[in-house]
A and B are shown apart, each in its own frame.
Chain A
Amino acid sequence: DIQMTQSPASLSASLGETVTIECRASEDIYSNLAWYQQKPGNSPQLLIYDANSLADGVPSRFSGSGSGTQYSLKINSLQSEDVASYFCQQYNNYPTFGAGTKLELK
């Protein structure tokens, strides 16, 4: 199985700040990476796929980048509605998820 190591596990940031979440794969996943947002009490929602493609309806302040084994999700100008947990997922092989990053407001 491909292991996904996500960091940090938790993050506190202020409104308007830029936030970056990292994800490292145990082997090259050739940009077969997605990011999901899960707000408290809700089901996950797709944000990014193919490492840097924005899913339909996702605000442009979200962006993804990376290649090989290293990937990141950036949130520009943090909004209150961005408080959530974020998960990366590789799909180069059978899918595996990172452990998640819990984002809170400072």
Chain B
Amino acid sequence: EVQLVESGGGLVQPGRSLKLSCAASGFTFSNYYMAWVRQAPKKGLEWVATISTSGSRTYYPDSVKGRFTISRDNAKSSLYLQMNSLKSEDTATYYCARAGIRAYVMDAWGQGASVTVSS
């Protein structure tokens, strides 16, 4: 069974940093692109980052480019999201997702990690 378990969420002040982790199991992690997608409270979905199988290529929307960094450790079957210079508009549930069919089609999702940016 595919499992994605996020951790590291919490309350953080504006301008500070936070790092999310995602532990993957039930599939060969190193074979898949991985992504982070967020959902602000009562809002829709927003793609945040994607990383290639080896980690050599990363992709971001303009809203987080230069502030967020996606990375992975294939030996540990783990995905990470380093979030710097956090803003109130980054408040959301962050989902770890596997891109199993196409590079940007998310076919498995974690339960989400809540991030609140507030003073």
Task: Please state if A95 and B47 are interface contacts (CB–CB under 8 Å).
Answer: yes
| A87 interface residue per 8 A CB criterion | yes
A31-81: which have CB < 8 Å to B?
32, 34, 36, 43-46, 49-50, 55-56
Which of B44, B59, B61, B108 makes the CB contact (< 8 A) with A98?
Answer: B44
Is the Cβ of A91 less than 8 Å from the Cβ of B44?
no
- Are A91 and B102 CB-contacts (below 8 A) given A43-B112, A44-B109, A55-B107? yes
Q: Are A97 and B44 in contact, with the CB atoms below 8 A?
A: yes
Query: Total number of A-B contacts with CB less than 8 angstroms?
Result: 54
Please give, as numbers and ranges, the residues of chain B lying within 8 Å of A91 by CB-CB distance. Answer: 102-105
Q: Are A45 and B102 in contact (CB under 8 A)?
A: no
Instruction: Verify B111–A49 contact, CB threshold 8 A.
Output: no
Q: Complex formed: what's the CA distance from A94 to B61 in Å?
A: 7
A32 contact set on B, CB distance < 8 A: 102
* Interface status of B45 (Cβ within 8 A of chain A): yes
A43 and B45 in contact (CB under 8 A), knowing A49-B101, A94-B61, A95-B104? no
Residues of chain A within 8 A of B107, CB atoms compared: 46, 49, 55-56
The reply to whether the CB of B46 lies closer than 8 angstroms to some CB of chain A is yes
Question: Is B95 at the interface (CB under 8 A from chain A)?
Answer: yes
Q: Which residues of A contact B102 (CB under 8 A)?
A: 32, 49-50, 91
Which A residues lie at the B interface, using CB under 8 A? 1, 32, 34, 36, 43-46, 49-50, 55-56, 87, 89, 91, 94-100
Top 3 closest pairs, chain A to chain B, by CB: A91-B104, A43-B109, A95-B47
Interface residues of chain B, those whose CB is within 8 Å of chain A, are: 37, 44-47, 59, 61, 95, 101-112
5 A-B pairs within 8 Å (CB atoms) are namely A43-B110, A44-B109, A45-B109, A97-B46, A100-B44
Known: A34-B106, A44-B37, A99-B44. 15 other contacts (CB 8 A): A1-B61, A32-B102, A43-B111, A44-B95, A46-B101, A49-B101, A87-B45, A91-B102, A91-B104, A91-B105, A94-B61, A95-B47, A96-B47, A98-B44, A100-B45
